[in-house]
Amino acid sequence: MPNILLAQEDTGFREEFSKLILDFFPTTHIQTATEWSELSTALSSVPAPTVLLADILWGGEDRSPELLLLAESHPATSFAVFGRYDLTGSLPPGYPIPLLQPDEQLPLRLSECMENLSGTLFGPYQASAPAGPHLLGRLYWARHQQLQRDVQLLVPPAGSATFAKAIRAMARVHHAAVYALYESVPWENRIVVAMEPPVHPSLLHYRMAGTPVPLATGARLATALGSIHADMESWNVPARPLEEYDYTLSPQGVPRLRNPVAHSGMPEVTAMENAQRLAGLLEPLLERDAKTQLLLSLLRKPGPSAFDLIRRAREFERQLAEFKEIHVRKEEVEAATKTMQARVRRRWVRSLGTVSTVLFLLGAGWLVFQKFLANYPARLTQEEIRIPAGEVMLDGKSATVPAFALDRHEVTIGDYETFLTNLVYMDWKQFLPAGYTKTSQSDFEPKSWKTQLARARNGDALSFFLPRGVRITRDSPVCGVDYASAYAYANWKERRLPNREEWVRAATGNDRRTYPWGNTPPGGDIHLGGEAAKKFALDAGLLLQAPAGSFPADQAPFGHVDMGGNLSEWITPSNDTLPGLMGGNFADEAPVANSLPPRRLAETDARVGFRTAR
- In this predicted structure, what is the pLDDT of residue 326? 41
- Same structural domain for residues 212 and 280? yes
- CATH number for the domain spanning 410: value is 3.90.1580.10
pLDDT along the chain (614 residues), means of 10: 90 89 90 93 92 92 94 95 85 90 86 93 95 95 92 94 93 94 94 95 96 95 96 93 96 95 91 96 94 95 93 92 49 70 83 87 74 72 92 90 96 94 89 90 91 84 54 89 95 95 95 92 76 45 74 93 93 83 89 91 85 95
Rounded to an integer, what distance in angstroms lies between the CA atom of residue 387 and that of residue 543? Answer: 31
Residues 6+ apart with CB under 8 A from 322: none
Rounded to an integer, what distance in angstroms lies between the CA atom of residue 2 and that of residue 30? Answer: 9
- In this predicted structure, what is the pLDDT of residue 330? 58
DSSP element (H, E) containing 417:
helix 413-423
In a domain, 48, yes or no: yes
Rounded to an integer, what distance in angstroms lies between the CA atom of residue 209 and that of residue 401? Answer: 113
- In this predicted structure, what is the pLDDT of residue 322? 56
In a domain, 365, yes or no: no
- In this predicted structure, what is the pLDDT of residue 219? 95
DSSP 8-class letter at 353: H
In a domain, 29, yes or no: yes
- Same structural domain for residues 302 and 254? yes
Q: How far is CA 194 from CA 125, 130, 138, 536, in A?
A: 9, 14, 12, 75
DSSP element (H, E) containing 192:
strand 190-195
Q: What are phi and psi of 294, to 5 degrees?
A: -65, -45
- CATH number for the domain spanning 232: value is 1.10.510
- Same structural domain for residues 577 and 436? yes
Number of domains present in the structure of the chain: 4
Chain Cα centroid distance, residue 193: 31
- In this predicted structure, what is the pLDDT of residue 521? 83
**Within 10 Å of residue 235's Cβ, how many Cβ atoms?**
13
- Same structural domain for residues 213 and 187? no
- Helix/strand/coil (H/E/C) assignment for every residue in 110-176: HHHHHCCCCCCEECCEEEEEEEEEECCEEEEEEEECCCCCEEEEEECCCCCCCHHHHHHHHCCCCCC
In a domain, 397, yes or no: yes
In a domain, 360, yes or no: no
In a domain, 491, yes or no: yes
- CATH number for the domain spanning 88: value is 3.40.50.2300
- In this predicted structure, what is the pLDDT of residue 332? 60
- Same structural domain for residues 210 and 186? no
DSSP 8-class letter at 428: G
Rounded to an integer, what distance in angstroms lies between the CA atom of residue 573 and that of residue 581? Answer: 10
Q: How far is CA 176 from CA 128, 230, 249, 255, in A?
A: 27, 13, 14, 10
Rounded to an integer, what distance in angstroms lies between the CA atom of residue 10 and that of residue 58? Answer: 9
DSSP element (H, E) containing 539:
helix 532-539
Q: Identity (one letter) of the amino acid at 472?
A: I
**Within 10 Å of residue 240's Cβ, how many Cβ atoms?**
20
- Boundaries of domain holding 61: 3-114
